Chain A
């Protein structure tokens, strides 16, 4: 079934973004881009989320937070790293407290580059993530079936 694709609720977490990428993520929700027309809602609650959007790189303090939040999202779920900081640490990469990109702690499905990432590319990334979400759902069903038999 394709309902997952039609109603992705996303959780936005600001790891250690400079606020540049955050504001672009929020710009997607404004009337100009209006992602709600794809059924996307910004939930703020990991238990309701399907898509985990992270801006900014991972530092030593929020490492556990990101991991914990990720684990609270029910399966199937996808992770989208928005901005070059989230992809690899970006300009903050060499800082003493940085662990690097989001993939240092949790598996990332889609990387959206840019500094700051443009709303168009963020939407693009999320749409790409929806395809992966669907694949994960199929895989989940497959394992469920195998365990059932």
Chain B
């Protein structure tokens, strides 16, 4: 019963929280660049505006895909906060991304094609590390269920520092921050024409934005799992991790897709895998 309530609370509060985080992100970014920056509520104004605009659609099917993207993103997030199976959450999460890629492919435009291809590459780059995160948490807490992992008293971070660092790296990819904002970005508009989202306008673009807010909240929720034994510490770490992401976003320039692949798979192989091997021998294996 409580799990259903948390799922509903997530569905309602996550967009608000995600939008607020996006607003703070823009404000902090502006301050780092020595500017005043937009109001914290700016992302909400943006989305409200997008819903006021005319809906121009090239291919009707693309809107359906975007709706599926939003729904799957919200559902996987709700399932995550309801304490469901981590693996299923990851699966639904990936499926949501596949839908936005399909939407971009459905639009028949060279820009959105390139954006879609780049999105597939990033998907490929971060996926191994996400799976290793789930496996690592399973090894130390003995469960794939979010509810068990989050309430477990095992200090997962002490066993999984490598996995955590690896997760932070792919968080940069998933949040579409520089240097990995190759598929779409607020700053890359000139050469990418916003990649994946090129052909989307008005309300549909607004839906993509809302889905991204959901996504941010779920990703930050995943950080919580490493610190489930101490909720206060977890919230502090989440805030610090996000600040670090903003800092990285502002100090790096965009890199080629090859580098995204190498960093994604590199951290998975070195930090993630090595960490799991050590945990296996010294903690589980004895």
User: Complex formed: what's the CA distance from A25 to B200 in Å?
Assistant: 26
Within 8 A of B (CB), among A1-31: 1, 3-4, 6-7, 9, 31
Segment among A36-44, A60-68, A111-119 that sits at the interface with chain B = A36-44
Q: Is the CB of A6 within 8 A of B45?
A: yes
Residues of A within 8 A of B190 (CB): 44
Option from B35, B53, B55, B194 in Cβ contact (under 8 Å) with A45: B194
Option from B48, B189, B194, B202 in Cβ contact (under 8 Å) with A1: B48
User: Complex formed: what's the CA distance from A140 to B54 in Å?
Assistant: 9
Q: Is the CB of B38 within 8 A of A36?
A: yes
Within 8 A of B (CB), among A95-122: none
Given contacts A6-B49, A34-B30, A45-B194, contact A76 B54 (CB under 8 A): yes
Residues of B within 8 A of A37 (CB): 30, 35-39
Given contacts A36-B37, A36-B38, A37-B35, contact A4 B56 (CB under 8 A): no
B30-52 Cβ-contact flags toward A at 8 Å (1 or 0): 10011111110010011011001
Residues of A within 8 A of B36 (CB): 34, 37
Chain B interface, number of residues (Cβ within 8 angstroms): 31
Residues of A within 8 A of B197 (CB): 48
Residues of A within 8 A of B37 (CB): 34, 36-37
Secondary structure of the B contact surface, majority rule = loop
User: Complex formed: what's the CA distance from A101 to B222 in Å?
Assistant: 55
Q: Is the CB of B34 within 8 A of A31?
A: yes
Residues of A within 8 A of B38 (CB): 36-39
Q: Is the CB of B201 within 8 A of A47?
A: yes
Residues of B within 8 A of A3 (CB): 45, 48-49, 52
Q: Is the CB of B201 within 8 A of A36?
A: no
Determine whether A93 belongs to the interface, using a CB cutoff of 8 Å to chain B: no
Residues of A within 8 A of B205 (CB): 48
Shortest Cβ distance from residue B171 to the other chain A in the assembled complex, whole angstroms:
24
Shortest Cβ distance from residue B36 to the other chain A in the assembled complex, whole angstroms:
5
A46-85 Cβ-contact flags toward B at 8 Å (1 or 0): 0110100000000000000000000010111000000000
- Which residues from chain B sit less than 8 Å from chain A, CB to CB? 26, 30, 33-39, 42, 45-46, 48-49, 52-56, 186, 189-190, 193-194, 197-202, 205
Closest 4 CB pairs of A and B: A47-B201, A3-B48, A44-B189, A74-B54
- Which residues from chain A sit less than 8 Å from chain B, CB to CB? 1, 3-4, 6-7, 9, 31, 34, 36-39, 41-45, 47-48, 50, 72, 74-76, 137, 140
Can you give 29 A-B contacts (C-beta < 8 A)? A1-B52, A3-B48, A4-B52, A6-B42, A6-B45, A7-B48, A31-B35, A34-B36, A36-B26, A36-B38, A37-B35, A37-B37, A38-B38, A39-B42, A39-B46, A42-B189, A43-B194, A44-B189, A44-B190, A44-B194, A45-B189, A45-B198, A47-B198, A50-B49, A74-B54, A74-B202, A75-B53, A76-B53, A76-B54
14 other contacts beyond A39-B45, A140-B54, with CB at 8 A cut-off?
A31-B34, A34-B37, A36-B30, A37-B38, A41-B186, A43-B189, A44-B190, A45-B194, A45-B198, A47-B200, A48-B194, A50-B53, A74-B53, A74-B201
